[in-house]
Every structure is written in structure tokens, then in C-alpha cells.
Amino acid sequence: MSTAATSFPERSAAEVADIVLAPEAAAPGALARRARQRRQMYIGQAVSYSLGASVLLLYAYDGAIHINVPSLFWVGGLLIIGIFTVMSEAGVGEKHDDHYLTVFQISAHMALQFIFLVSVPTIGIAFISVLFLIFAFGSLRMTSVQAMLTWAIATVALAGVFLGSDLPIGMPVATRLERIASMLCFVLVIGQCAFLGLFGATLRKILYRRSIELKAAYRRIEELAELDELTGSYNRRCIMRLLDAEIEKSRQAAAPCAVALIDLDWFKRINDAHGHPVGDEVLRTFAITMFANIRPGDRFGRYGGEEFLLLLPGTERDAASRMLDRLRGIVADLDWNAFSPGMRVTISAGVVTLRDNDTADTFLARADSALYSAKAQGRNRIATS
């Protein structure tokens, strides 16, 4: 027999995911794709009704049912499909979260099965078995409330058929042809149920892949929220949080900790003379150079403008000073001519180590004082405090 739960034509994983996962979309491409998916489903339903009507023809040929039953069943199914096709092409479903109008489709197909169950009770089991297929299809899209509602409607209808009437509901198997027809009824239902199972497995795989992609996207968002967009270093909020964590860790482990506040010398002159795009490239190049020459455990972030903060866990003052002087030399020796002939970029830095009574604010204040001292001494140098 035929139901709303027909075979879905072959489609890509992304399209299959849209059946269940896609929110209401306004983009023309998304709307066109969803309309195409619905057309494919309706074609599958028409094929399924045709197969069901063919099985009914076997019963009619054997005399178990009237010859008009197969054609009426087929026309009734196509009428339902036609109504929903017209609604689909008119975009009616796009106004709802479920653009397939699943509950309405299930109700219509279920009503058709009950009409033929009452009209042709001698093969009623065939129509009843299809109800399982209808709900299997509906379970892919219905909410719990919708499922309970349609289940209640089906229960009332079945109670009316079984308890409110004495219809001889059965499945004829008296002749060889009747047995073949009955077998084919169940073969069709089982086959469609098996396909729905495979379809559900595909959806589970897509859901799992989507969840992995979503987690990766969340991680990326978190990373972007911590990084300075221009230089790729930590932003001020993040580097300050890391500073607090390093101070706490250093005190708990009774280990040294140093920080360096770094400033690009005369950076305003670079912007004024060469333009802000060149200044941005200078900042990016400087950040890349720093990343390439600091230790894996060091933390480097943009403190503001052309000022950067370098956290040096487990580092004494002298070692930190030597490290910064090495970095200063590397930056000074870079060939900056690619940005502008004759360009020269240097840095100054103030280096301090953590004291027992330091807070993050006092720690940075001492680093800023040391940086001011380096600038006062002529820039392109390291000062400690």
C-alpha cells in the first residue's frame, strides 16, 4: 500500500541534512533546494501509490475485491499528493518551521488508509500495516506533541473500526494469487520501513558530523574572541587574564615570573610617513617574528596600539633581559625595505620580575616604568626594574 512514507530519491548529504536540520531560510538558493526536495518526495509517493495499486489489482483480478478499488486508491493517493504539490509550489510550507507540513501529510494519508480499511475490510490488515510506516516517516520530523496528537487520532479511529463495528477485517489467503498479493503487501511495507531505517542512519551520521563541525566552530569562535584580529596575538582582555593566571601559578609553585612590555619605536612616524596599511603590515610582521622566536610556554599579546606584553613564566630577570635583548636584535636586523626603502623598525622594552607584594596592576606599572626608562635612554634598548 502507499503512504506518505515513500522512498526519498538519491540526494547529497547536505540536502538530506536540510530535511531535518535546516531552519526557516529566506535565501533563494535554500528555498529552491527545499522545493526540489519536496518534489522528489512527492514523486516517490506517487511511485509508491502506483505499486500499492498494482498489488490491489491482483486482489481484484482474483475477485477478492471490486475492480474499481485499485483505481480509486491510486486516484485518492495522487489527489493528496497533488494538493500538497500545489501548496509546495505556492510556498505555503515555507511559512512554517516544518516546510514539509508533515502532520498534515500524515493525517491525509492516514485518513485515506482508514477510508479503504472501512470500505474494503476483507484486506484491511494491509491498510493497517501501512499505518506503522506512516508513523515511522512522521517520527523523522514530528515533535513529541505532534506525535502524541496523531497517535491519539489514530487510536480513536482504530477503536471505532474494531470496537464500534463488526467489520470482517482480514487478509485473504484462500488462493495462490491472494497469497502472492498478501505477501507483496507486506514486502512493500517492510521494504519501505527498511529504507526509512537506512535514511534514519544517514541522518544520525549527518547529525554526528554536524555536532563535530559545531564543536570545531565553537572552538574557533573562542579562539577568535581571544585573539587580536590584526596581529594574531592574544588581545588585551585575554593577555590580562593569562597574566593573572601566571601570577597565581608562580606564587603557588614559588617560581619566578617575568614580563616585558614592548613598544615599537616611533611607530606614529611610520603611520604618518607610509600610511596605516604599511603600519598594519609592520605590526603583523613584528608579531610573526615574535612568535617565531619565543618559547612554547611564553605568552604574547597586544596590550594596546603598538604596545605588546610578553609573559615569561619561570624566568629570572637576567634571563628575561637577555631574551628580550636577543628579540630586539632580531627585529632591528630584519629587512624592512620591502615595505618602504630605507625603513627601519626597532623596539624598546621594559622587563620586570614578579615580587611578593605585586598585583597585576603594580606588576604592569613597574614594566611600564622600565619601558619609559628605555625610551628615555634613546630607544632600541631593554631596561629592567
Closest CA to 331 of 278, 283, 374: 283
> In this predicted model, what pLDDT tens digit does every residue of 34-89 receive, in sequence order?
888 888 888 888 988 899 999 999 999 999 999 999 999 999 999 999 999 998 88
Domains of the chain, start order: 13-223 (no CATH), 236-384 (3.30.70.270)
**Per-residue pLDDT in tens (0 to 9) along the chain, 385 residues:** 654 444 333 344 344 444 444 444 446 777 888 888 888 888 888 988 899 999 999 999 999 999 999 999 999 999 999 999 998 888 888 887 778 888 889 899 999 999 999 999 999 998 998 888 888 877 777 888 888 888 888 899 999 999 988 999 999 988 999 999 989 988 988 888 787 777 777 778 888 888 888 888 877 776 667 889 899 999 999 999 999 999 999 999 999 999 999 999 999 999 988 889 999 999 999 999 999 999 999 999 999 999 999 999 999 999 999 999 999 999 999 999 888 888 999 999 999 999 989 999 999 999 999 999 999 999 999 999 8
Look up residue 122 and give its amino acid. Answer: T
Non-local (6+) Cβ contacts of 228 within 8 A are 234, 235, 301, 302
Using alpha carbons, list the distances in angstroms from residue 325 to 99, 365, 376.
65, 21, 17
The set of residues, in sequence order, having a beta carbon less than 8 Å from that of 318 and lying 6+ positions away, is none
